[in-house]
Structure 1
Amino acid sequence: MVGTVETAAIRWVESVWRRRITATRRLTGGWTSTVLRLTAADGGDAVLRMMTKEPWRRHAAGLLTREANVQEQLGRSPIPVPRSLALDPSGAEAGVPAHLMSCLPGQLRLDRVSAQVIDTLADLLVAVHRFDPGPAKPRDFQSWAGPEKRVVPRWARRPDLWGRAFEELDQPAPAHVGTFLHRDFHLGNVLWTGERISGVVDWVETSWGPAHLDVAHAATYLAMLHGAAPAAAFTDAYCRRAGDRPADDELRYWNVLDIVGYLPDPAKVVQPWRDRGLTIGDDLARIRLEQRLEAVLAHTIRRP
C-alpha cells in the first residue's frame, strides 16, 4: 500500500519523468532508504530512492547528489550502473529527498555463494577500483568505526578479541594510494542475471581511499551471510586479480576498521535479509562477525 509520502513522491516522478505510474513495488534488501520500483503506463520501469530514514535523511542532499554525479561519471565505464533520471535532493518538490533512476535488470543473490560468484564479484570490484574519475574525484573516505563504536558489545563471546581490535585502531592507519571506492560494495548491492553481474547499485557513499577498505566491507558482509571461508576466499580472489599482495598488517587494519563499523550490533543489516526469505538470526550474524574478527586478527584472511 502506498503511503502519503510515497504518493507525493510519485506525483513528482510523473511530472519529471512525464509518464503516468500504474504500479509500484517496494524493493527489499537495504535499510537506509525507502526504494520503490515504478512501472509506467507505457511499460517503462524506474527506481525511486527516497531518503525517509534518519540519520540519512539529514544528509540526503549530499548523499543523493553524490549518487547522481557518480552514476553520470560511471556511464562512460563498463560498470553496469543505473542512469540518473531526476533528482530532488532537498525534497522541496517530491515531499522527501528523492532520486529517480533507471531500472537495471537482474536479481539479488544472497542465499548462496560459489567460487564462481566470488571470482565474478572480485573481477567487478577490481574494475571499480581501476576507474579513473579524472579531476572530479569523490570525497575522501570516512571511517565508520569512530571512538564511539569502540565499546565491547554486550553479546560478545570473546571480549578479548574486541579489545585487541580497538588497540589495532589506535595505531596510525597504513599508508595507501587512493583509488575510486564504491564504499558500500557487497552482495546486497549487486544484481545478477544468470551468472553475470547486470547491475551495481547504491552509490551514495562513493569515496576516494584505500582499495582494501572496499574489499574488507564485501568480505565482512560475506562472512555474516555465509561464514568465514567465503570472506577469506573473496579477499584472496581480489588480491590475485588486482595483482596486489599487501602486507598482513595492512589487510588486518582495514578489515578491523570495517568490522568495528558494524558495532554496537550487526543485527541492523539482518532484517533486510529476512525480508528476502533468508533464515539468518541476529545471534548467528553476531557470532559470524566475531569469527571473522578472530580470523582477521589471526592473519588467516587468505586461503592456504
Structure 2
Amino acid sequence: MSYAPEPARFGRLTNREGAAAVRPLTLAWVNRHLENGERVVRTEVLHGGITAEMRRLTIGARDGGTRDLVLRSFVAPFHLERAEDWLGREAGALTALAGTGVPAPALVAADPVAAHCEYPSLLMTHMTGRTVLDDEGLETRVPLLARQLVAIHAVRPTERPRECVALTTADTVVTPEGAHAAAWAAAIDVIREPAPPYEGRFLHRDFQPGNVLFGAVSSGPAGARITAVVDWAAASWGPADLDVAHCSTNLALLHGPRWGLRFSQAYEEAGGALAAAVSERRYWLVRDALACSEEVRTVARVWREAGRPELTERAVEQRLDAYVTALMDAPG
C-alpha cells in the first residue's frame, strides 16, 4: 500500500467562488440525496488532501437550520485509475462502522464510477474537530490514538474489506542521502522475507494523526478527545501490526523517533494484541518505515502546509533514517 492515500485536514477552509463551486452534474446528484426542502447554500474548499478534491457543503433547510456534508471527488488522471477502489472501500467502511461507536462520518451517497457525477465522488457527513500535529500535548494524545486504534481493530464487519496489499519492495525503497547504510541494508533484507502469518483484523490502513480529529472538553491539551477518524479509502483486512506500524512511522517523523518506538507499547497498554514474536513485529514496523521512503517529499509538503514549516524534506529524511536505525538496533 502506498504510504498515505490522503491525510485529511478538515480545518482549513477557503470560500473562493471558482474553486469552491460544485460541478453541475455533481450538484444535481447531491441535491437528489438531500431531505425535502434542503439545498446547498455554501461550499468551501477543504485543503490538505493529496489525492482528491474535498469540499464542505453547508445545507440549508426551510426552517433556517443548517447542517454540513463533505464531498470527495477524484479528479486528477493519475488517481482516477484507483478511484473506484478507494471510494468503494470508503463506502463499505463507513457502512460497517455505523453503530459501532467508532467516530467516523456517516455515508450519504457514493458514485465510485461517475455514473451520475462528472468525477467519481462520495458524500458523507461532516465531523467536528481538527487535526493536531503539534508536539505540545503529545503525551496525552498518544494513548488516545492507541485506544482508538484498538477500538477500530475490534470491529467485525459483516462483509470483510479487501486483504491489505503492501506495494513497497526491496527494489523500490529510496535510501536517503547520508543515511546509515548498514541499518538500511539490514532493513531492506528484512522485507525481502515473506510476510509473517497473522490473524486478520479490520484495518483503517492510514491511521495517523493527519486522519484523526480532536476536540477539547476543557482548556489545554490535557482535555483533548478524539471526535472523528476520517479518510477510510484504504480500509483493509490484515494484521493489527500494520496499522500500528503506520501510525508509529508518522509519529516518528512528526515528533521524533522515540514516539514511533513508543506507540506499539501504548497500543498494548490500551488492550491491543500484536504479533507474539519480536521478529514479526519488527517486520511490519520496518516495512511501513521503508514504504515512507518513497513519499517523503509529498508527506513533508503536506505537513508544512498544515503548520509544521520546520519539517522540510531533509528534516523528514533525517528523522526517517534515525527511526529505521533505531528499529534495527532494538533488541531481538
What is the match of residue 284 of structure 2? 254
Aligned 1:185-200 pairs, distance under 5 A = 185-194=207-216, 195-200=224-229
CA displacement 1:151-186 (0-9 Å, x = unmatched)? 534x34223332222111111211211111111100
1:11 Cα deviation after fit: 4.1
The question of whether the paired residues in 2 share the 8 Å contact of 1:191 and 1:200 is answered with yes
Q: Could you list the runs of 5+ residues in structure 2 that have no partner in the other structure?
A: 1-15, 217-223
1:28 Cα deviation after fit: 2.5
What is the match of residue 49 of structure 2? 30
The question of whether the paired residues in 2 share the 8 Å contact of 1:5 and 1:96 is answered with no
Q: Please give the alpha-carbon distance, in whole angstroms, between the structure 2 residues aligned to 1:10 and 1:108.
A: 28
One of 129, 141, 163 as aligned partner of 2:164: 141
1:16 Cα deviation after fit: 2.9
Aligned 1:248-287 pairs, distance under 5 A = 248-279=278-309, 280-287=311-318
- Stretch deviating more after TM superposition (276-285 or 79-88): 276-285
Matched letter for residue 257 of structure 1: R
Q: Please give the alpha-carbon distance, in whole angstroms, between the structure 1 residues aligned to 2:272 and 2:254.
A: 27
Find out whether 1:206 has 2:222 as its counterpart.
Answer: no
1:292 Cα deviation after fit: 1.1
Cα RMSD of the aligned pairs, angstroms, is 2.1
One of 178, 181, 184 as aligned partner of 2:200: 178
Distance 1:249 1:259, change over 3 A: same
What is the match of residue 90 of structure 1? 113
The question of whether the paired residues in 1 share the 8 Å contact of 2:213 and 2:229 is answered with yes
CA displacement 1:219-251 (0-9 Å, x = unmatched)? 101111111122122221002223536322112
1:286 Cα deviation after fit: 1.0
What is the match of residue 58 of structure 2? 39
What is the match of residue 20 of structure 1? 39
Q: Please give the alpha-carbon distance, in whole angstroms, between the structure 1 residues aligned to 2:34 and 2:291.
A: 38
One of 182, 188, 193 as aligned partner of 1:160: 182
What is the match of residue 117 of structure 1? 141
1:294 Cα deviation after fit: 0.8
One of 290, 295, 301 as aligned partner of 2:321: 290
The question of whether the paired residues in 2 share the 8 Å contact of 1:192 and 1:198 is answered with yes
Aligned 1:67-82 pairs, distance under 5 A = 67-82=90-105
CA displacement 1:21-48 (0-9 Å, x = unmatched)? 2222222332121111111233210001
TM-score (norm 2): 0.84
The question of whether the paired residues in 2 share the 8 Å contact of 1:30 and 1:188 is answered with no
The question of whether the paired residues in 2 share the 8 Å contact of 1:248 and 1:299 is answered with no
SS of the residue corresponding to residue 325 of structure 2 reads: helix
CA displacement 1:52-88 (0-9 Å, x = unmatched)? 2354321111211221111111102010110111111
1:198 Cα deviation after fit: 0.8
Q: Please give the alpha-carbon distance, in whole angstroms, between the structure 2 residues aligned to 1:21 and 1:220.
A: 39
Identity among equivalent positions (%) equals 33
The question of whether the paired residues in 2 share the 8 Å contact of 1:144 and 1:258 is answered with no
1:273 Cα deviation after fit: 1.7
The question of whether the paired residues in 2 share the 8 Å contact of 1:168 and 1:253 is answered with yes
1:261 Cα deviation after fit: 1.2
SS of the residue corresponding to residue 37 of structure 1 reads: strand
Q: Please give the alpha-carbon distance, in whole angstroms, between the structure 1 residues aligned to 2:19 and 2:129.
A: 27
Matched letter for residue 228 of structure 2: G
The question of whether the paired residues in 1 share the 8 Å contact of 2:147 and 2:267 is answered with yes
Q: Please give the alpha-carbon distance, in whole angstroms, between the structure 1 residues aligned to 2:260 and 2:143.
A: 12
SS of the residue corresponding to residue 81 of structure 2 reads: coil
Matched letter for residue 152 of structure 2: V
The question of whether the paired residues in 2 share the 8 Å contact of 1:132 and 1:180 is answered with yes
1:13 Cα deviation after fit: 1.9
TM-score (norm 1): 0.91
Distance 1:178 1:156, change over 3 A: farther
What is the match of residue 247 of structure 2? 218
